[in-house]
Chains A and B, each alone.
Chain A
Amino acid sequence: MVEETVEEFKNANLYKGVHAVALEEFYTSGHRTCQGCESALVMRDFVKASGPRTVVTGATGCMYVANTSYMTTPWIVPWMHTQLAAGGASAVGMAAGLKALMRKGKIPKEKINVINFSGDLGAGDEGLGGLSGAMQSPYDLLVIVYDNESAANTDIQASGLTTWGAQTTFSPTGSVKRIMHERWKKNLAAMMAIGHPNVKYVATSCATFPPTDYMNKVKKALSIGGPTLIHTIDPCPKGWDYHPRYSHVLGELAIKTGIFADYEIVNGEVRYTYDLRNKKRTPVREYLEKQGRFSHFEDEDYDYVQAKVDEMWDEWELPGILPIKSGLKVKK
């Protein structure tokens, strides 16, 4: 792991270690998330990093339903619900409105952070078009995709970002068919980076590992300007079926096994936060077998996932990002 302080982020006030993190909270009591909910930490930490001059929209998802019961809101900053597919558009609308009002002298000029959070189902499936629209927009905004790999407030259904083979209520294992979820996880962050060349900052992250990495990525995204995106992997005790005390362990394993590549793309330059190229990686099985959703896996299933992860790190042109095995080097 490398913690670089590079020229473009010299004004981003990055945290140098956990002791430097602000104590003030802008996401506090009142939410009803589960014990060990890592997505709740994703909420708490982004708004800690962005500070009070922030407006937030939350797309429908578990972080809407569990987070914001009427009259017990945990949000200290202004927060508004938006529709499942409207994460990107909500940020565009708010950023455009604030920009116009400031330019026309209707409200004072200042930097107001505009942040939307959307889950994997919202951002990765239904809201993909709107997310693309936001990434093409000229506005300063950040979309955080909190990915707990399921529709976690509607009974744990598979999304396009669910790990291959996982049991969900839409992909239960049965007596004839063991593996029901046969879609390979979408490469969402990279899709946004590659498809929108003007976006200056796209990152993946895990809220607990490496420490402060996620909050610093939020700071970087907000300081660089234009539309930006951070995709976090969020272990979910309820959906992934493990004891809540192990969320941070699973987060760390998701990174160390390489099943979730941890990187930043800054002005088109790829920087691996946790570089597993040409390195010994923790076997994926150690990550998968700690989760009840893979309890139906047999050796061949572990082998299949391991082979796909190995292929990604050993053969992709840009591991985790570009699933092309050779470009101009192709042999005739």
Chain B
Amino acid sequence: MAVKMETKSVFDREELMTGTDAVAEAVKLVDVDVFAAYPIRPYTGVMDRLAKFIANGELDAEYIVADGEHSQFEIGKHASSVGARAFVGSSGTGWLYAMESIGVTATDRLPLVALVGNRALDDPGAFGVEHNDALLVRDLGWLIGWASTAQEALDTTLIAYRVAEDPTVRMPAAVAMDGGYLTHSQHMVRVPTKEAVRDFLPAYDLGNRRMHPDNPVSIAPQVNEDWVMEMRRQNYEASKRSRKVLYSAYEEYNEVFHSEYDNPFIEETNVEDADTVLVGMGSASVVARSVAREMRKEGKKVGFLKIRWYRPYPTDEIRKALSNASNVGIIERNFAMGAPDGGAITMQDLQSALYDAKNHPRVVDFIAGLGGREISKTEVRKMYEMTADKKSPKVSWIGLRE
């Protein structure tokens, strides 16, 4: 189903599409030069769609089916190094197979954009969502954004290229989305015109780091203890600068595409005056938001805080948003074996952010929906209630079979 938009609009059409299809549309719109594919569920729909664009002559790019994720990501990295805009992606263990390349893409400061269709790590086999794959790279120097709807997936991908390629940033960016719940579910998506995207996203220019005979540089030589610290620091500064660039990119995105992103990093639903706030990311946000609204109508002072960009981490934004909350619960679609308090990964970051904050709400952690198990409205309601209850345990596994 596609509805043609009126001429002169910044939108070409509105169409029902899956999360991965929306990313494929974005990759086409940014006129990507090289993309490399390797099959693994559930991210791979994006490559199926892009391959069809090539077959139909809708996209002019070099399309490579790699021999594995390691090569796939290396192909993307090196295409990026010669000044080509590149795209890759993976899921779960495939993402981990590419891990070596994922690390060096960040330290080489190459603005490769990748889709992570979040998937449980084997063994045992599970196609469904867990966030451990993307979260494993959180400290390596990638920008990581989580989409929770197909529209947001398209928007986040366009913004990812804009921020990653910014000369003051030049970091790779991962667009994460829940396997199944978003990769394979359809939403109405407004697809921008090529012209509007061209206005929003300047041409990719790697400047004096481009690999080309006219620019004979040596990239990533052996530096050892003499220079590694300074280079890590440059990476660190770029990561800090990316915050500002994300703000300006969203501001301009709202302007060009009439979207209503209040904040690049977080999205608040009744958080401001809430006593009890749940925090989460990905597709569970849709359920948690709707339950928060329902409970508000019942007079309960609850709110939901969605995290969109997880790296760089929205420390200030979270401190501010939670400055009035007494109880905070976190929906975690990941695990962290042996971590402090037995909590999962995002609890560690959130508690760190709150340690130096003025307000210190009680924080509890909910490990839920692992391996793609559904997080129901009833369960989310239970999480709100447990968060409000001062006697509830620090960490609870929700929906666990007895």
Interface positions of A (Cβ within 8 A of B): 52-55, 57, 64-65, 68-71, 73, 75-83, 85-86, 88-94, 96-101, 103-104, 106-107, 112, 129-130, 132-133, 136-137
Contacts and interface: CB of A to CB of B under 8 A. Distances in A.
Given A83-B74, A133-B67, 17 more contacts: A54-B213, A55-B213, A64-B222, A71-B221, A76-B216, A78-B213, A79-B217, A79-B219, A81-B219, A85-B70, A93-B76, A97-B33, A100-B60, A101-B82, A101-B83, A129-B71, A132-B67
Given A80-B211, A89-B71, A133 B66 contact: yes
Contacts of B223: 69-70
22 contacts: A55-B211, A65-B222, A68-B222, A78-B215, A79-B218, A80-B78, A81-B220, A82-B74, A92-B75, A93-B34, A93-B36, A93-B74, A93-B76, A93-B79, A97-B82, A97-B83, A104-B33, A129-B70, A130-B74, A133-B67, A133-B71, A136-B67
A75 B101 CA distance: 24
Contacts of A96: 34, 62, 64, 75, 79, 84
Contacts of B217: 78-79
B137 interface: no
Contacts of A68: 218, 221-222
A70 B226 contact: yes
A86 B219 contact: no
A91 B81 CA distance: 11
Given A93-B77, A129-B71, A132-B67, A70 B82 contact: no
A73 B221 contact: yes
Given A89-B74, A93-B34, A75 B216 contact: yes
Nearest to A108: B214
Interface of A is mostly: mixed
Closest 7 CB pairs of A and B: A93-B78, A97-B84, A133-B67, A97-B79, A89-B74, A73-B218, A89-B71
A253 to B, nearest CB: 32
Given A75-B218, A85-B70, A57 B78 contact: yes
Contacts, number: 158
A141 to B, nearest CB: 11
Contacts of A81: 219-221
B241 interface: no
Given A78-B212, A78-B216, A79-B219, A98 B74 contact: no
Interface in B69-107: 70-72, 74-84, 86, 100-101, 104
Contacts of B227: 70
B393 interface: no
B57 to A, nearest CB: 13
A97 B67 CA distance: 18
Interface of B: 31, 33-34, 36, 60-62, 64, 66-68, 70-72, 74-84, 86, 100-101, 104, 203, 211-213, 215-223, 226-227
B84 A101 contact: yes
A59 to B, nearest CB: 10
A133 B38 CA distance: 12
Contacts of B86: 93, 97
Contacts of B215: 78
Nearest to A133: B67
A78 B100 CA distance: 23
Contacts of B82: 55, 93-94, 97-98, 101
Contacts of B212: 55, 78, 98, 107, 112
Contacts of A107: 83, 212
A101 B212 CA distance: 11
Given A54-B213, A80-B78, A130-B70, A69 B222 contact: yes
Nearest to A70: B223
Contacts of B221: 68-71, 73, 81
B154 to A, nearest CB: 23
A94 to B, nearest CB: 5
Contacts of B211: 55, 78, 80, 94
Contacts of B218: 68, 73, 75, 78-80
A128 B346 CA distance: 38
Nearest to A129: B67
Contacts of A79: 217-219
Contact of B78 (A90, A104, A137): A90
Contacts of A76: 216
A83 B78 CA distance: 11
